[in-house]
Structure 1
Amino acid sequence: MGKWFDLVLILLIIISVLLVMMESIKEIDVKYHKVLLALEWVITIFFTIEYIARIIAIKKPFKYIFSFYGIVDFISTIPLYLSYIFAGSQVLLAFRVFRMLRIFRILKLVQFIGEASQLKKALKASRTKIAVFIYVVLILSVIMGTVMYLIEGDESGFTSIPRSIYWTIVTLTTVGYGDIAPQTNLGQFIATVIMIMGYGIIAVPTGIVTVEFSKQPKGNGKIAKVNDKFDVHLNTQSCPYCSKEGHRDDASHCYNCGNILNE
């Protein structure tokens, strides 16, 4: 039942995000506004029931309410109600903002991805290395931007050091908008070096996160590894205290908080 509920919830999240996108298309909104609004109310009511049910079901509701997923669930539920509370022509802009907040429902999909926790741990473990890497890139951008400002000058569009740093970052990340381009031979040579460096720079954080990700223990899938054998099934049962999922079928206590699963 928990699995079917999750599947229905995923489908409604995707439909809701598509409804927001279709509302932004004027031709579709003018023609099908009432249908889109009716569907949105159905989905909003479902999310409201789900949010209240989670608060009632868990034994420590405030821990859920102020958690990441609790805040996401609240943001996913409240916008349509707010858009009708703040009525009046002077707050039409706020009305639109509240309605657009529904796009954050796509964040609710994160909790259904088994490897999301592993990726989060990998990013957390590599945050120091990535921070140092970004620091080095920023220093390099400042140095190369200053050099390009001295070489090219105002005639080529490098009107200031900040603007030259902007060009360096755009070039280093291989984006290359083309709004500024070096004209001198020396400037073009330096730009070529920066572009080649950009490909290597992009690969560095990818490698850092990949290494940390490979170190993360597996076991968020349906089968847990016990004694080097994949023979223990994991279910979708949620802990009534901390709402963690993915417990073994033979588990009597939560692996996260240690409380009894079924009292």
Structure 2
Amino acid sequence: MKQRIKNIVEINDNKASKVFAIFIQVLILISIVTFTMETIPDLKPETRSLLYAIEVFSVIVFSVEYLLRIYVAESKPKFIFSFFGIIDFLAILPFYLSFGVDLRSLRALRFLRLFRIFKLVRYNRAINHFTNAIKSSKEEILLFLFVTLILIYFAAVGIYYFENAAQPEHFSSIFDSLWWAIVTLTTVGYGDVYPITVGGKVFTFIILLIGLGIVAIPTGIISSALTKSVDSNETEK
């Protein structure tokens, strides 16, 4: 019995496993849609009751799935504290915490329902390729993040010295300048804070050029790792 359940809840090539995986994926999407619809103001009581019924049904299914995965796991503690084990737990936790309790005091916990999106990772091969790509290039990504943080700090220091005297209300300290550095290096440029001095404008131009490179570097790293992951999978097949 345990092996039969494992063949269903774990991803296998048998029909029952595929049907179960599709059912869970559809239920996750329905759950996310109902979560979104709950934010619509002035919903009819009947609609809210229907959404709540869908939520209860989803939680029951996800709870049973979670318990079954613990049951069939070779090492139960290892599964419980694994990435997917934690995601499965967080997907159902908000419902049980808010059961019979005034949700106004626990409204923030409802956002944890968004962790159900991550449950899709288990069933989607394309997302699995992306996850493998991230894992294989984690050292390069960490190095990139470290260099980016250094550049953000230097950008904040630079713009502070160029603009502090001209705009003390916007660049009163390096901490205040960090916001400008972040939105400029990421090429977002909200326009709420911008340089007015010649030196500040020239410095901003240089930072923008660096920002274009910062956007391109992780794209290249991940795309290269993703290609390797897909090629490796095809080779195994």
- Fold in common (TM above 0.5): yes
Q: Which one-letter code corresponds to 1:123 in the other structure?
A: I
Q: How many residues align?
A: 220
Aligned to 2:158: 147
Rounded to whole Å, the distance in 2 between the matches of 1:29 and 1:104 is 27
Closer, same or farther in 2 for the Cα pair 1:134/1:39, shift >3 Å? closer
Aligned to 1:15: 30
- What does 1:90-101 align with in structure 2 at a 5 Å threshold? 92-94=104-106, 96-101=107-112
- What does 1:21-170 align with in structure 2 at a 5 Å threshold? 21-28=36-43, 32-85=47-100, 87=101, 89=102, 92-94=104-106, 96-156=107-167, 157-170=170-183
State the TM-score, normalized to the length of structure 1. Answer: 0.74
Rounded to whole Å, the distance in 2 between the matches of 1:113 and 1:79 is 25
Aligned to 2:198: 185
Closer, same or farther in 2 for the Cα pair 1:125/1:53, shift >3 Å? closer
Aligned to 2:223: 210
Closer, same or farther in 2 for the Cα pair 1:103/1:198, shift >3 Å? same
Give the Å deviation of 1:99.
3.3
Closer, same or farther in 2 for the Cα pair 1:100/1:209, shift >3 Å? closer
Give the Å deviation of 1:218.
4.2
Give the Å deviation of 1:74.
1.7
Backbone CA RMSD of aligned residues: 2.3
- What does 1:242-257 align with in structure 2 at a 5 Å threshold? none
Question: Moved runs in structure 1, 4+ residues, more than 4 A?
Answer: 217-220
Gaps of 5+ in 1: 231-263
Query: Is the CA contact 1:23–1:29 (under 8 Å) kept in the aligned structure 2?
Result: no
Q: Which one-letter code corresponds to 1:189 in the other structure?
A: V
Rounded to whole Å, the distance in 2 between the matches of 1:143 and 1:152 is 14
Rounded to whole Å, the distance in 2 between the matches of 1:138 and 1:98 is 31
Is 2:20 the partner of 1:5? yes
Closer, same or farther in 2 for the Cα pair 1:197/1:6, shift >3 Å? same
Structure number with the higher helix fraction is 2
Query: Is the CA contact 2:134–2:222 (under 8 Å) kept in the aligned structure 1?
Result: yes
Give the Å deviation of 1:10.
0.5
Closer, same or farther in 2 for the Cα pair 1:78/1:130, shift >3 Å? closer
Q: Cα deviation per residue 1:141-188 (whole Å; 9 max; x = unaligned)?
A: 322322221221143222112222321221111111212111112211
Rounded to whole Å, the distance in 1 between the matches of 2:194 and 2:36 is 36
Closer, same or farther in 2 for the Cα pair 1:174/1:66, shift >3 Å? same
Gaps of 5+ in 2: 1-15
Q: Cα deviation per residue 1:97-134 (whole Å; 9 max; x = unaligned)?
A: 34332221111001112133433332233222222223
Query: Is the CA contact 2:166–2:197 (under 8 Å) kept in the aligned structure 1?
Result: no
Rounded to whole Å, the distance in 2 between the matches of 1:116 and 1:186 is 45
Closer, same or farther in 2 for the Cα pair 1:189/1:5, shift >3 Å? same
Tell me the SS of whatever aligns to 1:168.
Answer: helix
Aligned to 1:176: 189
Aligned to 2:212: 199
Query: Taking every aligned residue pair, what percent have the same amino acid on both sides?
Result: 37
Give the Å deviation of 1:138.
2.5
